[in-house]
Structure 1
Amino acid sequence: MDTIMRDPFSYLRQLEGLTVNDGIYDFLPHWQKDSALHKFIRFIADEILMDDTDGPTRVPFGSDPLYPDWILPVDAAMLQYGIIDEPLFFIPDESAPERTPGGGSDSSESGDPYCVVNACYDYLLNLRWTQAYEDLMSRITDEVFYVMFLNRRALANLNQFLARYAGEVTTDGFDADEASLMNLFVRDGELKRVRPPMWARRAVFYRDRGRCTTCGTDLSGLIDTLNVGNYDHMMPLARGGLNDVTNLQLLCENCNSKKYDKVEDPSNRYRRWY
């Protein structure tokens, strides 16, 4: 995740499905709890699991260490999380019938060099419509978000990438049934400024430990009641930034006024535990 956020344009072909064909519209509504980072994590996780079918990447399963059955990483992940009790799919041998936990079989096509890859791909394609897969995506997303939300540099990189597409949105390009999206903008490519809801302010305040992320001034009100905290858009709205919790950082009034609407790398000032 961090590698892709640092240099998303090196992975632009893989990321096209995230933003093309109006995909950026999903990121536009103000202050979604299903944040831009949540959406990005799910997209990357799904892409990785789909890529695992083209090899295929295999995970051993069973009690026999010499002749194990082989399963896909997606099934191994669902087993690890306790979403399923046994594999839903075994990778077939090119010369043997496909096996399933229910005991059924499906003979591989004779002479087809892609029969194994196709079987794996078809399985995951169908699995993506199931509740088990939704549960897996939810668990992965929650865990990765928990780690990545602490990394302001990575979040800023993600929002800079998305801003390139949000900043190109024109309000006359919306259909009649997309009028609600039109109302989000103050002008083409610039979303309206909407005060962050309490849940977003609390999340950013506690993530940044109640201090200005640039100069370290205490903004908790416990030491100095005159210090005022500002919730700054790391990627300014005027430059295509989103009203998204991942686009916020805590700044003091002085640092916020100096930054204004410039695009600057957020500080790497983090809490040291010892």
Structure 2
Amino acid sequence: MTESVRLHVSDGVARVTLNRPDDGNAINLELARALRRVVERIAVISPRVVVLSGDGGTFSSGGDVVEMAAADDLGDYVYELATTFHGALASLSDIDAVIIAAVDGVAAGGGLGLALCADVVLASERALFLTAYEAIGLSPDSGASYLLPRVIGASRARAMSAVGLRLDAAAAQEIGLVHAVTPSADLDDAVWAMATRLAARPQTHMAASRALFRGADPQEFRRHLEAEAQAIRAAAASPDAARLIREHAIRAERSAAALRRRAERARAA
């Protein structure tokens, strides 16, 4: 079976790639567990730089609504998914390495949260950032409600969530969510130029620096992640959330089928 998260380590740089391209790198339990295992390996390897990316032209479309819709108990499933993914994010934050998010395509929901965990976000010109939770009747998780206000300001973050605002790469750069924007074809080169430069110097201060920038208490982020998990579990108990998730799951399955057909035609050509 193909690993849903790939890890490649070379010259002090650990590249973590979400690997569910046919499903928009949507975050299901398998991917969340795989990411947690990969982060545990990274903690042992101790690279100086970690690069986060997604395969197939999408960073991550967020939580897997198809798997959510199939759950026997939506609240329990969402809580397990959130806490598993949160465990990976919390451990990632404790790593003494510069974390770079290479965002090509959509970073939505949990994908946005993962990007926000990075110290630096580099984006292609086709990147798109959105909270997405509101579209399926859920509250934010994956650290988005903690990190987004610290990056773009509380008022912008609340508005982004309330109205479902989508930020393209240029808009995201303008308000500080993105460090730099490049053409999609040049993103890998830009990421590796930065990663190579940063890997040439010690980074044993990064976990402490990250905690200080977030508010000095290293446990605050973990407590907030648990509060998010409890809130999203309660939101998932709503009949409206269940209905919206089912509707989105139908659209997601159609979109995934169309992607697979295009990929098959491309392979046959």
With structure 2 as the length reference, what TM-score do the two structures score?
Answer: 0.27
Q: Going by fraction, where is helix more abundant, 1 or 2?
A: 2
Q: Going by fraction, where is strand more abundant, 1 or 2?
A: 2
Q: Comparing both chains, which one has the higher relative contact order based on Cα–Cα distances under 8 Å and sequence gaps of 6 or more?
A: 2
With structure 1 as the length reference, what TM-score do the two structures score?
Answer: 0.27
